[in-house]
């Protein structure tokens, strides 16, 4: 077979594969018309969980025969999903960990796999997009049509017109970065806004906007880091009914029990994310078993704190 003919065959096969993955995602979306917040509530009740399993695949940390092999990203993540599907309130794949290895096709496969093995568990695409309205429209297509996500993380700092395209999608969720878990968040998020009544801190202003005038479809949430429990409590005061996506438990040092006490209220759910502590609980072939044990442990801590 000539090089050109081989290329045509491979390209055609790749196009068929991608079309199949996209078709599977669309079919599963049509079969699952529930809103994001309704899916969250159902998954929390069904799996008795506030745990979000973050999917941040790093091939250099993969176990055994998977190590340093980007082509195994799907296999690794699918094994984690299979091991934790009955323990998670949500899954959260981080798009950069796939795009860095040209593995967007593996992310498409993973999204379809999650829909197949855990249709009751919502998927939050961690993309942290933020751009002008026309570009945001394209990012919304990427998140909700290409990948079939139930919700997406966004940066709100370009204003409402950078968020509104996502809110036009009926039933789809969006989490705005509010008080993030990284130390550099202080550079902006803890600064006061002199031009706003009461001179709130920036993260407080974002929380108020999300709870109020920006929440057009009732599906907005906020990202608040577990490393700042006092700020979680403050955000909950300002946004009593919004779901809070809380990263930073586990490898970043956030306290799971303190997170629950600060953020969980009647009418306001929390989704506590753990990524590396679960994904890399073992560097051996038993990684999926170890991931399940770590997820069980974290879920138990969260549930115990909720009853205190």
Which residues belong to the active site? 128
Burial of 213 (0-12, 13-18, 19+ CB in 10 A): exposed
Asked if 110 and 80 touch (Cβ cutoff 8 Å), the reply is: no
- Ramachandran angles phi, psi of 223, nearest 5°: -100, 120
- Calpha distance 232→192 (Å, rounded): 18
Asked if 110 and 93 touch (Cβ cutoff 8 Å), the reply is: yes
- Calpha distance 135→102 (Å, rounded): 21
Asked if 235 and 224 touch (Cβ cutoff 8 Å), the reply is: yes
Asked if 115 and 24 touch (Cβ cutoff 8 Å), the reply is: yes
């Amino acid at each position: 077979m000539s090089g050109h003919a081989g290329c045509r065959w491979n390209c055609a096969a790749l196009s068929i594969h991608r079309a199949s993955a996209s078709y599977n995602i669309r079919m599963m979306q049509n079969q699952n018309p529930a809103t994001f917040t309704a899916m969250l509530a159902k998954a929390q009740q069904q799996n008795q969980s506030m745990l979000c399993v973050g999917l941040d695949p790093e091939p250099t940390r993969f176990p055994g025969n998977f190590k340093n092999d980007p082509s195994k990203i799907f296999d690794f993540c699918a094994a984690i999903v299979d091991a934790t599907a009955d323990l998670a309130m949500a899954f959260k794949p981080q798009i950069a960990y796939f795009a860095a290895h040209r593995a967007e096709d593996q992310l498409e496969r993973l999204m379809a796999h999650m829909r197949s093995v855990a249709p009751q568990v919502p998927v939050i695409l961690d993309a942290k997009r933020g751009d002008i309205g026309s570009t945001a429209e394209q990012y919304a297509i990427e998140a909700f049509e290409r990948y079939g996500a139930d919700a997406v993380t966004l940066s709100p700092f370009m204003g409402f017109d950078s968020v509104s395209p996502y809110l036009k999608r009926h039933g789809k969720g969006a989490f705005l970065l509010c008080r993030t878990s990284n130390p550099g968040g202080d550079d902006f998020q803890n600064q006061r806004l002199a031009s706003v009544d009461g001179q709130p801190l920036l993260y407080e202003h974002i929380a108020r906007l999300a709870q109020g005038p920006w929440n057009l479809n009732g599906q907005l949430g906020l990202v608040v880091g577990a490393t700042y429990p006092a700020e979680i409590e403050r955000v909950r005061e300002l946004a009593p009914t919004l779901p809070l996506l809380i990263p930073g438990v586990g490898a970043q040092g956030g306290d799971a029990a303190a997170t629950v006490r600060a953020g969980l209220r009647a009418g306001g759910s929390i989704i506590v994310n753990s990524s590396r502590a679960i994904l890399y609980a073992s560097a051996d072939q038993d990684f999926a078993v170890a991931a399940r044990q770590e997820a069980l442990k974290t879920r138990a801590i969260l549930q115990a704190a909720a009853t205190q």
